[in-house]
A and B are shown apart, each in its own frame.
Chain A
Amino acid sequence: MSAETNTLIKNGLWTNNPALVQLLGLCPLLAVTSTVINGLGLGIATLLVLTGSNVIVSMIRNFVSSEIRIPVFVMIIAALVTTVELVLSAYFHPLYKTLGIFIPLIVTNCAIIGRAESYASKHSVQDSFVDGLMMGLGFTAVLVLLGGIRELLGQGTLLANADLMFGQAARDLTITFSDDYPGFLLAILPPGAFIGLGLIIALKNIIDRRMAARTEPLIIPQTETARS
């Protein structure tokens, strides 16, 4: 693996994670992460769109003049989202219904257009593919983690409704920790998402600080941020 690929993997998953560092795409992040499966479903959908749009944008980067690049990016992303939406509706219909409006809303996820603009439009197809994949994985990981925390605190289960995603055979994957758990409703409600995300970001900052203290001298990584 080249050094560039290594940097891309590290950036996407940790140093420049779209959800924890760039704080992009918070709307779906906060809205659908009430369970692990919802988080995983939306994470994978976003991952597909992000990788696809990065590859296509990178391919056409030399043919599109910079004045019209944004509408072109938007159309590419919209086309990909529509494809993902139709695929989900065809093969994972119950999950599609649970995620509802947040599937078409992937088109407005600023992490995607942010990557297209700040990375894919300036780099080779291969690098853009790795970047999209890693950013998507980083985003999915946070969605699953937050979903896990909220589901565990809110309902006392993990992987509830796994059959929405993996078919009937996965029904037994659900782990129930206590049958008479009263349910900590706050974790399921929107404030729980904000508090949970805040705590995860705080945890990441603590880990970063510990690591930096251990490996002096400190090298500040180049972070690219784009906000919508």
Chain B
Amino acid sequence: MQFKKTSSPYLHNNQNISLVMLQVIYALIPGILVYSYFFGWSILVNIILACLTAVASEALMLLLRKRPLAFFLRDNSAILTACLLALALPTLAPWWLIVIATLFAIVVAKHLYGGLGYNPFNPAMVGYVVVMISFPQYMTQWLQPHAGLDLSQALQYLFLGELNAAISLDSITSATPIDSIKTGLSLNQSISEISASPLFGFWGGAGWEWIAAAFLLGGLWLIYRGIISWQIPVSLLLSIVVMAGIFYLADPQQYSNPLFQLFSGGTILAAFFIATDPVSASTTPKGRIIYAVGIGALTFIIRTWGGYPDGIAFAVLLMNMAVPTIDYYTQPRVFGASGK
């Protein structure tokens, strides 16, 4: 697949792939720490398992494709994909769910399309969607805030799929805030009734709002470092705020407020870390805005009226498909050339 390049100026920013990927991983750390503060050891164990799977399958595919092993393994892109995937999957996922998702992300979505730089779809989101449509019953096992398991319990659940007799799965898991709004609305409850539940925090989901805030912090640092451009996160978040705002103003009892939309689910994580994937995102400045507005609008539509709880993964993949067309029509004017 041939991707369009942007025009000059070509400024050199003294970065290489390995360093860029590493900085994105650093930017995830505050979010991961807050996540594990609220939800216990499980997330750290999941991330490690996903990383090991990703590196192993990356090495296997490089061997099969007869590519230099050390060179490509050192670019850290597989580890970043694994981290994003582990953050997107439910906290209490069985080990094989994480392994299958990671295998699909690395083997099918990345290497079968030609490896890093050639994948038209975001690998982490492909892995997520595969397990989402294949094993919907396992994709609902989200922990309640502060119901976290300690390290041995987390490992025991991950690999054996069972908990101590004292803890039942139902007592520590719950619907996510977005899910409970959807269920509540279908039972004819109003938003203010639903959000009286302890699942809801000050402005988003309890716990989730602080995790999102930590990701926001990491994302802003990435923009400051020049790793990601501002267009994608800003226009993605703005389009969700505008869409949610219109419906919220029309009927605040049927539609949740824009701030809640921003700080629940994976909105912030997706805006700064997933949609900005340099390979599968649009590459022209104008194109990035169109691409991100599309993701935001589709996310809100799928969340509000769709069958799946959080539509971000589907929105990202759908817009990934549109990227070659968007890039084709948004080529910037070449410096010195007259208009059309």
Query: In the complex, given contacts A184-B135, A186-B134, A189-B133, what are 8 additional A-B residue pairs having Cβ atoms less than 8 angstroms apart?
Result: A182-B137, A183-B134, A184-B100, A184-B134, A185-B133, A185-B135, A186-B130, A195-B108
Quick check: is B138 within 8 A (CB to CB) of the other chain? yes
Are B133 and A182 in touch, CB under 8 angstroms? no
Interface flags, B95-120, vs A, CB<8A=1, else 0:
00000100000001000000000000
Residue on B nearest A153 in the bound complex, by CB: B134
Residues on B with beta carbons closer than 8 Å to the beta carbon of A189: 133
Query: How many interface residues does B have (CB within 8 Å)?
Result: 9
Are A182 and B108 in touch, CB under 8 angstroms? no
The answer for the CA separation of A172 and B106 in the assembled complex, in Å, is: 39
Identify which of B108, B130, B137 gathers the most chain A CB atoms within 10 Å of its CB.
Answer: B130
Identify which of A183, A184, A186, A189 gathers the most chain B CB atoms within 10 Å of its CB.
Answer: A186
Residues on B with beta carbons closer than 8 Å to the beta carbon of A182: 135, 137-138
The answer for the CA separation of A56 and B100 in the assembled complex, in Å, is: 50
Interface residues of chain B, those whose CB is within 8 Å of chain A, are 100, 108, 130, 133-138
Residue on A nearest B108 in the bound complex, by CB: A195
Interface flags, A175-195, vs B, CB<8A=1, else 0:
000000011111101000001
The answer for the CA separation of A189 and B134 in the assembled complex, in Å, is: 9
The answer for the CA separation of A182 and B133 in the assembled complex, in Å, is: 13
Interface flags, A188-216, vs B, CB<8A=1, else 0:
01000001000000000000000000000
Chain A to chain B: the 3 pairs with minimum beta-carbon distance, closest first: A185-B134, A186-B134, A184-B134
Are A186 and B108 in touch, CB under 8 angstroms? no
Residues on B with beta carbons closer than 8 Å to the beta carbon of A183: 134-135
Residues on A with beta carbons closer than 8 Å to the beta carbon of B138: 182
Residue on B nearest A189 in the bound complex, by CB: B133
The answer for the CA separation of A213 and B130 in the assembled complex, in Å, is: 37
Name the distance in Å between A109's Cβ and chain B's nearest Cβ. 28
The answer for the CA separation of A187 and B104 in the assembled complex, in Å, is: 13
Interface flags, A134-154, vs B, CB<8A=1, else 0:
000000000000000000000
Name the distance in Å between B27's Cβ and chain A's nearest Cβ. 32
Residues on B with beta carbons closer than 8 Å to the beta carbon of A187: 134
The answer for the CA separation of A186 and B136 in the assembled complex, in Å, is: 11
Residues on B with beta carbons closer than 8 Å to the beta carbon of A195: 108
The answer for the CA separation of A186 and B131 in the assembled complex, in Å, is: 8
Name the distance in Å between A183's Cβ and chain B's nearest Cβ. 8
Name the distance in Å between B112's Cβ and chain A's nearest Cβ. 8
Residues on A with beta carbons closer than 8 Å to the beta carbon of B136: 185
Residue on B nearest A154 in the bound complex, by CB: B134
A-B contact pairs, 18 of them (CB 8 A): A182-B135, A182-B137, A182-B138, A183-B134, A183-B135, A184-B100, A184-B134, A184-B135, A185-B133, A185-B134, A185-B135, A185-B136, A186-B130, A186-B133, A186-B134, A187-B134, A189-B133, A195-B108
The answer for the CA separation of A208 and B218 in the assembled complex, in Å, is: 50
The answer for the CA separation of A184 and B100 in the assembled complex, in Å, is: 10
Residues on B with beta carbons closer than 8 Å to the beta carbon of A185: 133-136
The answer for the CA separation of A189 and B131 in the assembled complex, in Å, is: 13
Residue on B nearest A187 in the bound complex, by CB: B134
Name the distance in Å between A52's Cβ and chain B's nearest Cβ. 39
The answer for the CA separation of A96 and B144 in the assembled complex, in Å, is: 50
Residue on B nearest A202 in the bound complex, by CB: B112
Residues on A with beta carbons closer than 8 Å to the beta carbon of B135: 182-185
Name the distance in Å between B230's Cβ and chain A's nearest Cβ. 35
Name the distance in Å between A176's Cβ and chain B's nearest Cβ. 19
Name the distance in Å between B114's Cβ and chain A's nearest Cβ. 14
Residue on B nearest A188 in the bound complex, by CB: B134
Residues on B with beta carbons closer than 8 Å to the beta carbon of A184: 100, 134-135
Residue on B nearest A198 in the bound complex, by CB: B112
The answer for the CA separation of A55 and B134 in the assembled complex, in Å, is: 45
Residue on B nearest A182 in the bound complex, by CB: B135
The answer for the CA separation of A187 and B130 in the assembled complex, in Å, is: 10
Residue on A nearest B138 in the bound complex, by CB: A182
Name the distance in Å between A181's Cβ and chain B's nearest Cβ. 11
Residues on A with beta carbons closer than 8 Å to the beta carbon of B134: 183-187
Name the distance in Å between B136's Cβ and chain A's nearest Cβ. 8
Residues on A with beta carbons closer than 8 Å to the beta carbon of B137: 182
Name the distance in Å between A139's Cβ and chain B's nearest Cβ. 25
The answer for the CA separation of A182 and B108 in the assembled complex, in Å, is: 22
Name the distance in Å between A62's Cβ and chain B's nearest Cβ. 49
The answer for the CA separation of A184 and B132 in the assembled complex, in Å, is: 11
The answer for the CA separation of A182 and B161 in the assembled complex, in Å, is: 13
Name the distance in Å between A197's Cβ and chain B's nearest Cβ. 14
The answer for the CA separation of A189 and B135 in the assembled complex, in Å, is: 12
Residue on A nearest B130 in the bound complex, by CB: A186
